[in-house]
Amino acid sequence: MTSNFWKNKKILVTGAQGFLGKHLVKNLLENRRVLKENLFLPAIEELDLRRWEDCKSAVENKDMVIHLAAVTGNAEFHRVNQGKTFYDNLIMGVQLMEAARQAGIKKFVSIGSVTEYPKKAPFPFREDGLWEGYPEEIHAPYSFAKMMLLVQGKAYRQQYNFNAIHLLLTNMFGPGTSMGNAVIPSVIKKIKEAKEAKREFIELWGTGRPTRDFLYVEDAVEGILLAAEKYDKSEPVNIGSGKELSIKSLADIICRLMSFSGKVVWDASKPDGQPRWLMDTSLAKKEFGFEAKTAIEEGLIKTINYEQQ
């Protein structure tokens, strides 16, 4: 069924050169057997999705859009670039979906984020709690830009019968995670540098008490592609591990796996961000059979081995 679904489909993947994009393209080619000539993978140097004409060009003669492209980074990046993250992400997504509608695209898959949930959302995060409050302040401009794709997709489905779906992804990690923009690559990098410099400590932001839902990137890709194949509804769907781990426990695991016996110093003057993140993933299992398969240690070992090459 999967091979028939993808057969002869012409697919635009935005953000294909990014961390998630590279793993998704690999799956499409190797697991779904999509022909390379049926994949359109423009880099930002080729097409700037903030420009309407480039959006129109990108979707021409395509069957599906998987919109991964985003302007994002760590908490500090979001703190100092609130205007940019709002405008760039909003204008890219809104224009691309409108261009896709005009071009007759059969399915539009937009990728959102766990940060869309309210700072004080009922726990664990369920899709029906998405609009119950304001997101965590640092990420709010980015989060609202992404949420507008959900609103746009619902409106377009109602008025134009346009098939748009919206997936809420949790914290991803894996081989090739971009340059310390997330907690796991940051910890790996700091331990590696400490060992090379023979330092007996590393310093990490915050208190270590917040929890996160960490999802191995290959599992995230499988969730996205299963949804692309089987999910055709307007309600958003969580893609996560469904397991909660504190930042402190995560750091302890990475220290052990990297044989680092030094001290972890927590800089409590730096922000912790949202206190708890954990997704309820029951809807993804019900609607398209998705469950995360990779245990945290298994995924960390693969990530550490890659980063230490």
What is the DSSP annotation of 226-240? HHHHH---SS-EEES
- Residue 25 in any domain: the answer is yes
150 located within any domain = yes
Q: Do the domain assignments include residue 48? A: yes
Q: What is the 3-state secondary structure (H, E, C) of 130-153?
A: CCCCCECHHHHHHHHHHHHHHHHH
The DSSP call for residue 28 is: H
Give the active site residue among 87, 134, 142, 216.
142
pTM, rounded to two decimals:
0.94
Give domain status of residue 260, yes or no: no
Q: Is 142 a catalytic residue?
A: yes
3-state secondary structure (DSSP) of residue 124: coil
Task: Specify the long-range contacts of residues 179-184, CB closer than 8 Å, at least 24 apart.
Answer: 180/74, 181/72, 181/73, 181/74, 181/77, 182/74, 183/212, 183/247, 183/250, 184/214, 184/250, 184/254, 184/300, 184/303
Structure tokens belonging to residue 220: 């995230």
Tell me the per-residue pLDDT of 235-294, one tens digit each, with 9 for 90 and over.
Answer: 999 999 999 999 999 999 999 999 999 999 999 998 887 788 899 999 999 999 999 999
In this structure, the number of other CB atoms found within 10 A of the CB of residue 234 comes to: 16
Residues sharing a CB contact under 8 Å with residue 28, sequence separation 6 or more, in sequence order: 6, 11, 13, 34, 39, 225
Number of structural domains found in the chain: 1
Which of residues 72 and 231 earns the better pLDDT score?
231
Does some domain include residue 272? no
Task: Note whether residue 306 is domain-resident.
Answer: no
In a domain, 185, yes or no: no
Tell me if 143 sits within 8 A of 135, measured CB to CB: yes
Domain range for residue 16? 2-174+214-242+277-293
Q: Are 200 and 263 in contact (CB under 8 A)?
A: yes
pLDDT digits (tens, 9 = 90+) for 70-96: 998 777 788 899 999 999 999 999 999
In a domain, 302, yes or no: no
SS3 of 217, please? Answer: helix
CATH of the domain at 237: 3.40.50.720
